[in-house]
Structure 1
């Protein structure tokens, strides 16, 4: 992970879930993560409907130019990336797997900014399930909020092994550097079907994707 805010939310989620795959929604205490609330969101996955924002932080809404509540999560992404994001959401909801997306946002006037999005599952079934996440600008340009982001393009998708991240947290503080090696990464071009479903090690160009990463 590249931003300390991402690592902080992951550490908090890890702490309250203890040995369970994911914490309950009611266990999330806004006061414990108040410094990060402007960048935090909650997604819900209604039965027979698309994944949408249930809540979204003020800074996130400002960056996208309006209230995101009830907005479909896939609508934020470039059309060619929506299948990959959809499969990722299904993995997070059903398998209680944590994930990070590195992406680039394009503004209405064509400006670009880099973001890091964290997806953390909450307890519950796939139908009506929820997750908590954060979306943070890695290079918060002066124009963010004035020139709204209209499209996001995926740069890489990473699945997190929370058990390894938890072990690292005992050794040193949960910073972006400490948490980075808890990831397994797939970069463009996406081979989403194999990445999300195959049970054995896979080679994707110069990368090897290993099993693990389920909370």
Structure 2
């Protein structure tokens, strides 16, 4: 497992946010025989404290998904009702393709993903760090076509809409297979710290993988 630690760039570590932990624990508890849970298994009462931050995605094409259910956090960030909108609307155009690759990995792996985002600051819009958790779900036919997601951010959202740059992602396959770490070219000065260091092509970054 990896975690994000900021240097002097005001990067906020949200990886251990209690809302993310609650939703992750709920999803893990639904995994009978370590299989991906069904969408029908999700009971809002099981994540009641996290509902404001939660959402459900439906896969519509490779790397593309629309929001079927959206909590208030997405509405506040975008200044509009997000139900029916593509989830990629939250992501800036320069990192949208990287986001789509990660999203497709969640569906096709299947895999769970932690994504770190950054929204630039401007007048009426404070800079924001955000963390997104994506957890795959099976549809009625047994295939992975849904995702239970949750998004948390630091501070007030400011004037809507907000656009987030994907800084990096951490994926873990459900079957216990390979782990993937991705860092985008817009990543702030930060480090992914664990046991074994692997250099990246970005001079100000280190990607490290912890052996479990």
TM-score (norm. length: structure 2): 0.72
CA change 1:161–1:127 in 2 (3 A) is: closer
Q: What CA distance in whole angstroms lies between the structure 1 residues aligned with 2:88 and 2:150? A: 15
Q: What CA distance in whole angstroms lies between the structure 1 residues aligned with 2:169 and 2:142? A: 21
User: What runs of 5+ residues in structure 1 fail to find an aligned partner?
Assistant: 165-182, 191-201
Aligned CA RMSD, in angstroms, stands at 3.3
Question: Quick check: 116-125 or 88-97, which moved more?
Answer: 116-125
1:130 aligns to what? 146
Does the CA-based 8 Å contact 2:63-2:101 persist in structure 1?
Answer: no
Matched, 1:70 2:84: yes
Q: Quote the offset at 1:86 in angstroms.
A: 0.8
Q: Which has the higher strand share?
A: 2
Does the CA-based 8 Å contact 2:64-2:104 persist in structure 1?
Answer: no
Q: Which has the higher helix share?
A: 1
Q: Quote the offset at 1:104 in angstroms.
A: 1.2
Q: Quote the offset at 1:128 in angstroms.
A: 7.8
User: What runs of 5+ residues in structure 2 fail to find an aligned partner?
Assistant: 1-14, 187-196, 201-205
1:119 aligns to what? 134
Matches within 5 A, 1:76-87: 76-87=90-101
Q: Which whole-Å deviations, capped at 9, do the CAs of 1:95-141 have from their partners, x for residues lacking one?
A: 1200011111246734211111000000147988110100011x223
Q: What CA distance in whole angstroms lies between the structure 2 residues aligned with 1:126 and 1:153? A: 33
Matches within 5 A, 1:94-173: 94-106=108-120, 109=123, 110-124=125-139, 129-137=145-153, 139-141=154-156, 144=157, 146-160=158-172
Q: What CA distance in whole angstroms lies between the structure 2 residues aligned with 1:15 and 1:114? A: 28
